[in-house]
Amino acid sequence: MGTLHVVATPIGNLEDVTLRALRVLREADWIYAEDTRRTRILLDHHGISGRPVSLHERNEAGRIPEALKALDAGSSVALVSDAGTPLISDPGARLVAAAIAAGHDVDPVPGASAVLAALSLAGLPAEPFVFLGFLPRKRGERRALFQRYRGAPETLVMFESPKRISNTLQELSEIFPERSACVARELTKIHEEAVRGTVAELAERFSGDARGEITLLIGGALDSEQPRLEDLEAEIAARLARGQSPKEIAAEFADPPRIAKRDVYQRALALRDGGEA
């Protein structure tokens, strides 16, 4: 049986690769890469002669039988993405799942991460945090996502296109303008930049298109944004009127946590029975 190595690669600076990752890539019989041209630059820079084979979102399913055949033969297979760690907003999840299902070892080779790099310099709490990946392109879906985390205490980390960052910040400023935030741009590259301020300030700063790859971080909910049980009574009553049970209502308010599940349940019971909580 072979081993599938999930190898993190630099997010910009080609020196940000571990000695272990270079060894694994040098010894691999197969290297599957999201973009073979970008991976070839990394391999050439470090004198690695292996020839990468493309594995991206559109052809991943078709590559799996080939990769499993190589693993069945005892080959060493490496998986890399354009930058950072495969599967983290990058392809590879289906291959990893297939390898596990077939009984092969999956070996993580950690390294550079835009998410962790951005958290380390943003000046926001690094734990707990929630990674949202690339934001939806449709405005309604984005706003629904932002509303979902409106009362969450975690720092929000997300990727956004430089062409859409202006609209995204404007939408965010309409929901929680006073939260601390950071636009981390071109991390580890020549034009690296971290711009910090409130969401409203960043919306004004990035009112036009930006350049480069962007990681956006938003601080957790402020005390003034945290919902109070009494403020939710109208919503609880409306849900009861629609036929939801107190248990169902409490479960929905707990995902993500907006207020203690037990407190919501008790208030819903009281409203349903016409008594006082």
pLDDT, tens digit, 9 for 90 and up, residues 8-23 = 999 999 999 999 999 9
pLDDT digits (tens, 9 = 90+) for 226-241: 666 676 788 888 888 8
Asked if the peptide bond before residue 110 counts as cis, ω within 30 degrees of 0, the response is: no
Q: Rounded to an integer, what distance in angstroms lies between the CA atom of residue 178 and that of residue 175?
A: 9
Question: Which token pair is 193?
Answer: 């930049």
Cβ atoms within 10 A of the Cβ of 248, count?
Answer: 14
Alpha helices in 124-277 (DSSP H): 139-148, 165-175, 199-205, 233-241, 246-253, 261-273
DSSP annotation of 150 reads T
pLDDT 10s digits, 168-184: 999 999 988 999 999 99
Is the predicted pLDDT of residue 266 greater than 50, yes or no? yes
Q: Which segments of the chain are extended strands (E)? A: 3-7, 30-33, 52-54, 76-80, 105-109, 129-134, 155-160, 180-185, 193-198, 214-218
Cis peptide before 227 (omega within 30 of 0): no
Task: Please tell me the distance from the alpha carbon of residue 141 to that of residue 180, in angstroms, as a whole number.
Answer: 23
- In this prediction, residues 73-80 reach a mean pLDDT of 97
Q: Six-digit token pair at 143?
A: 């706003």
Q: What is the pLDDT of residues 180-221, one digit of tens each?
A: 999 999 999 999 999 999 999 999 999 887 899 999 999 998
CB atoms within 10 A of CB 33: 26
Q: How many helices, marked H, and strands, marked E, lie in the chain?
A: 11, 10
Query: Residue range 38-47: average pLDDT?
Result: 96
Q: What is the pLDDT of residue 125?
A: 95
Q: Look at residue 259 and tell me whether its pLDDT is greater than 70.
A: no
Confidence of residue 60 (pLDDT cuts 50, 70, 90): very high
Decide if pLDDT at 253 tops 80: no
> Is the bond preceding 128 in cis, omega lying within 30 degrees of 0?
yes
Q: What percent of the chain has pLDDT over 70?
A: 93
Which pLDDT belongs to residue 277? 42
**Position 135 pLDDT exceeds 80:** yes
Task: Give the CATH fold of the 3-112 domain.
Answer: Cobalt-precorrin-4 Transmethylase; domain 1 (3.40.1010)
Q: Picking from 38-47, 65-74, 120-129, 257-266, which range would have the lowest pLDDT averaged per residue?
A: 257-266
Average pLDDT over all residues of the chain: 91
Nearest to 12 by CA among 87, 83, 79: 83
Q: What is the CATH class of 115-224?
A: alpha beta
Residue with tokens 């790859």: 213
The pTM (predicted TM-score) of the whole model is 0.79
